[in-house]
Amino acid sequence: MSTIPQELFYTVDHEWIRVEGDVGTVGITDYAQKALGDITFVDLPQVGQEVARGNEACAVESCKAAVSVYAPAGGRIVEVNAALADDPGKINLDCYGEGWLYKLALASKAELSKLKTPEDYGQIVVNG
């Protein structure tokens, strides 16, 4: 199993969020990208779109499946990773770096307390 980055928060649905100030960068975890296989398409959200914690924010398609990516926190989309339109495989190669999906202006940092710590997420991945 790969190392789980310690500076991130996680969801039980295998999304991650990195918080810098009032903005969160969101992506899918290494566990998720491996389960999906080769990612072939990403349906990114629109800049300016409002999302609520736990609601679908975008979708990822692979050779195996199409899955929804849920917002780990609520807020407004302020940026999307446009490079994924031409190269969705960046998610497979660097899901915690160049493979990020979107950035979110957080509505409430208090929602972060509902997310999993790296240790808690590690237990989910190990124990299913």
Q: Are strands 56-62 and 23-28 parallel, antiparallel or unpaired?
A: unpaired
pLDDT of residue 126: 86
- Residue ranges per structural domain of the chain: 9-108
Burial per residue of 64-94, b for 16 or more beta-carbon CB atoms within 10 angstroms, e otherwise: eeebebbbbbbbebeebbeebeeebebbbee
CATH, range 9-108: 2.40.50.100
How many other CB atoms sit within 10 Å of the CB of residue 40? Answer: 14
Strand partners, 106: 75
Quote the pLDDT of residue 3. Answer: 79
pLDDT at position 127: 79
Average pLDDT of the chain, as a whole number: 95
Which residues does the chain have with pLDDT short of 50? 1
Mark out the alpha helices in the chain (DSSP H runs): 30-36, 83-86, 90-93, 118-127
pLDDT of res. 1: 45
How many residues make up the chain in this entry? 128
Residue 101: which of 125, 76, 69, 53 has the closest Cα?
69
Report the alpha-carbon distance of residue 70 to residue 108 in Å, rounded: 16
